[in-house]
């Protein structure tokens, strides 16, 4: 087992400077999403509050459609990951994947901030269940995908500009491994989000009501 883990670590190695850069993108995205939830006008805030109340009421009353939820969640997360991966195979992907990581972080920041703003201290407890650990894992997965998409895209750009040969087989082997690991992790977090989080939220809502 250790042999396979060591091999996986060698295949999924990221430059620390690149990781720091992507971490900054994530932090900026989360902060921007949080600020946006504060500055939107009253009617938009009411619409967000109505949506959150409807969601938590459905959780409390057990009215969630798990089959529909798991399909939608898997399609969105896996589809988003696949789109990032494919963009890494293009020249324009260099900027597109950074923007997609920012958007993913922006949505998380907006969601977390909206829950806290709508429910106050109770919202903090709800956020702990809503966001941890699956959304944090998802962000790390998308950072991993973004990092490798940038590396592949940069190598393609360098190959085109310098007209040097590219070892595509070696690059694609590692890139496919990254996609496979990412999809597996996203499936696990999606299952947790759909089947475990509503039950945990229900427990928290019973405690704080």
For 162-203, how does the pLDDT look when each residue is reduced to its tens digit (9 = 90+)?
A: 777 767 777 888 899 999 999 999 999 999 999 999 989 888
Q: Are 147 and 19 in contact (CB under 8 A)?
A: yes
Q: Does residue 10 belong to any structural domain of this protein?
A: no
Mean pLDDT within 58-75: 87
Q: Are 77 and 2 in contact (CB under 8 A)?
A: no
Q: Does residue 144 belong to any structural domain of this protein?
A: yes
Q: 178-183, long-range: CB within 8 Å, 24+ apart, which pairs?
A: 178/11, 178/12, 178/85, 178/144, 178/145, 178/148, 179/81, 179/82, 179/85, 179/145, 181/8, 181/12, 181/144, 182/81, 182/85, 182/141, 182/144, 182/145, 183/78, 183/81, 183/82
Q: Does residue 4 belong to any structural domain of this protein?
A: no
CB environment 126-165: b (16+ within 10 A), e (fewer)? bbebbbeebbeebbbbbbbbbbbbbbbbebbeeeeeeeee
Give the C-alpha distances (Å, rounded to integers) separating 46 from 19, 40, 107, 205, 206: 37, 10, 18, 21, 24
Q: Does residue 1 belong to any structural domain of this protein?
A: no
Tokens of 58: 């459905």
Q: Does residue 9 belong to any structural domain of this protein?
A: no
| Domain containing residue 37 | 15-61+71-208
Q: Does residue 109 belong to any structural domain of this protein?
A: yes
Asked if residue 8 has pLDDT above 60, the reply is no
Distance of CA 21 to the CA centre of its chain: 16
Asked if residue 90 has pLDDT above 90, the reply is no
Give pLDDT tens digits for 120-150. Answer: 888 888 898 888 899 999 999 999 999 999 9
Q: Does residue 189 belong to any structural domain of this protein?
A: yes
Calculate what percentage of the chain has a pLDDT beyond 90. 44
Q: Does residue 92 belong to any structural domain of this protein?
A: yes
Tokens of 139: 């962000």
- 12 torsion bin: left (phi>0), alpha (psi -120 to 50), beta (else): beta
- 120 torsion bin: left (phi>0), alpha (psi -120 to 50), beta (else): left
**How many domains does the chain fold into?**
1
């Amino acid at each position: 087992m250790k042999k396979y883990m060591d091999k996986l670590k060698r295949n999924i190695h990221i430059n620390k400077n690149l990781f720091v850069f992507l971490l900054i993108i994530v932090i900026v995205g989360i902060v921007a999403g949080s600020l946006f939830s504060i500055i939107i006008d009253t009617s938009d805030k009411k619409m967000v509050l109505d949506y959150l109340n409807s969601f938590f009421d459905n959780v409390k009353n057990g009215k969630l459609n798990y089959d529909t939820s798991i399909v939608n969640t898997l399609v969105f997360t896996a589809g988003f990951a696949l789109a990032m991966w494919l963009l890494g195979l293009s020249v324009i992907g260099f900027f597109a994947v950074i923007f997609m990581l920012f958007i993913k972080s922006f949505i998380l920041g907006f969601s977390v901030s909206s829950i806290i703003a709508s429910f106050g201290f109770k919202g903090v407890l709800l956020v702990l269940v809503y966001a941890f650990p699956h959304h944090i894992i998802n962000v790390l997965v998308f950072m991993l995908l973004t990092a490798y998409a940038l590396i592949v895209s940069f190598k393609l750009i360098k190959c085109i500009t310098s007209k040097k040969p590219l070892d595509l087989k070696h690059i694609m082997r590692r890139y496919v491994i990254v996609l496979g690991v990412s999809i597996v992790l996203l499936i696990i977090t999606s299952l947790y989000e759909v089947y475990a989080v509503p039950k945990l939220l229900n427990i928290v809502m019973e405690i704080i009501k």
